[in-house]
């Protein structure tokens, strides 16, 4: 896609699932990729290997650079260090993908303040801190840039038992719009991609159980869960110059899940 070759990109939580697929896809588009992981580097190493294999197709030194960066996005000092490391190693940072995310299931009247803060801390505060540090850098170097937040259909669909997750993604919508408006004149575009039900480790409660999977898929108008690669394709589009005139938007990649699926049959 236009405008991605040679762009320096940081993808948070890129050692599995959607983040891993985004890193691979952006490397295939010619981006240099900084792969963030929280604790163990093994998943991030797997991402790096797959990304370079697919991007370079066994050609040595195909021009795509990669970097593993440890950091907990909910910790301010980690985020500052992570962005500084990427800028130091790559020379700049053009594209930030705020993908790291967690969820906990609990009745809303029982969730502890610590559990609530943990989810908000990673999904919302962490995304904001990464955006803040990236924007600071872009303004200092007077560069244009792109930020993409990985939201969720639960940005707009309420999710009982997951109140902190729903709040974090709802807040992400406003963060996307606010930052998009504030920095539009500096050439910084901020958008969200909101996946529907996607087959990744975060959903292992139903992806490996055919009965539960069938129930989930019965609510999806197009009848199937999505893949990480389908989410990564939307991210690549929004990151590219094909989307040069798009900012402040959420692109729902959900096979119609947000279309009130129960109204499929007009007589029901």
Selected binder of ligand NAD within 10, 13, 145, 220 (CB under 6 A): 13
Please say if 37 is a catalytic residue: no
In sequence order, the β-bridge partners of residue 192 are: 149, 250
Region of 46-54, 197-205, 215-223, 257-265 interacting with ligand NAD (CB under 6 A): 197-205
* Least CB distance to ligand NAD at residue 93 (A): 17
Q: Which is nearer to ligand NAD, 200 or 250 (CB)?
A: 200
> Could you say whether residue 247 binds ligand NAD (CB under 6 A)?
no
> Could you say whether residue 192 binds ligand NAD (CB under 6 A)?
no
CB 69 within 8 A of CB 10: yes
Selected binder of ligand NAD within 15, 191, 192, 240 (CB under 6 A): 15
* Least CB distance to ligand NAD at residue 64 (A): 21
> Could you say whether residue 73 binds ligand NAD (CB under 6 A)?
yes
Selected binder of ligand NAD within 23, 86, 111, 197 (CB under 6 A): 197
CB 105 within 8 A of CB 158: no
Query: Which residue shows structure tokens 């960066």?
Result: 69
Q: Which is nearer to ligand NAD, 8 or 74 (CB)?
A: 74
Q: Which is nearer to ligand NAD, 192 or 240 (CB)?
A: 192
In degrees, rounded to 5, the angle at the alpha carbon of residue 34 between the alpha carbons of residues 13 and 144 is 105
Pick the catalytic residue from 37, 128, 162, 165: 165
Per DSSP, the three-state class of 231 is helix
Region of 48-56, 68-76, 131-139, 260-268 interacting with ligand NAD (CB under 6 A): 68-76
> Could you say whether residue 66 binds ligand NAD (CB under 6 A)?
no
> Could you say whether residue 72 binds ligand NAD (CB under 6 A)?
yes
CB 144 within 8 A of CB 138: yes
CA distance 155 to 149: 12
CB 108 within 8 A of CB 163: yes
Smallest CA-to-CA distance from 162 within 98, 119, 100 is with 119
Tokens of 207: 């992806």
* Least CB distance to ligand NAD at residue 143 (A): 24
Per DSSP, the three-state class of 34 is strand
**One character per residue 79-98, x = contact with ligand NAD (rule: CB under 6 A):** --------------------
CA distance 28 to 122: 28
> Could you say whether residue 122 binds ligand NAD (CB under 6 A)?
yes
Q: Which is nearer to ligand NAD, 38 or 189 (CB)?
A: 38
CA distance 35 to 11: 6
CA distance 118 to 123: 9
In degrees, rounded to 5, the angle at the alpha carbon of residue 84 between the alpha carbons of residues 80 and 87 is 145
What is the number of helices (H) and of strands (E) in the chain?
9, 7
The catalytic residue positions are: 165
Residues of this chain that bind ligand NAD (CB under 6 A): 12-13, 15-19, 36, 38, 72-74, 99-102, 122, 126, 150, 152, 195, 197-198, 200-203
């Amino acid at each position: 896609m236009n405008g991605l070759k040679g762009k320096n990109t940081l993808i948070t939580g890129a050692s599995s699932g959607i983040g891993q697929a985004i890193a691979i896809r952006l490397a295939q588009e010619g981006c240099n990729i900084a792969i963030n992981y929280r604790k163990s580097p093994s998943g991030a190493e797997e991402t790096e290997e797959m990304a370079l294999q697919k991007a370079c197709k066994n050609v040595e030194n195909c021009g795509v650079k990669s970097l593993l960066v440890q950091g907990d996005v909910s910790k301010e000092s980690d985020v500052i260090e992570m962005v500084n490391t990427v800028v130091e190693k790559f020379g700049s940072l053009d594209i930030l993908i705020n993908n790291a995310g967690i969820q906990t299931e609990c009745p809303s009247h029982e969730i502890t303040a610590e559990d609530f803060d943990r989810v908000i801390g990673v999904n919302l505060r962490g995304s904001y801190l990464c955006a803040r540090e990236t924007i600071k850098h872009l303004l200092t170097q007077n560069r244009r840039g792109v930020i993409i937040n990985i939201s969720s259909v639960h940005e707009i669909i309420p999710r009982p038992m997951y109140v902190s997750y729903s709040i974090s993604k709802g807040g992400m919508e406003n963060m996307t719009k606010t930052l998009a408006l504030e920095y539009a004149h500096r050439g910084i575009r901020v958008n969200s991609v909101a996946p529907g039900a996607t087959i990744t480790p975060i959903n292992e409660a139903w992806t490996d159980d055919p009965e539960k999977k069938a129930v989930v898929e019965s609510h999806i108008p197009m009848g199937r869960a999505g893949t990480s690669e389908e989410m990564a394709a939307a991210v690549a589009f929004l990151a590219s110059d094909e989307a040069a005139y798009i900012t402040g938007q959420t692109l729902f990649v959900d096979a119609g899940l947000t279309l009130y699926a129960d109204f499929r049959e007009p007589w029901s």
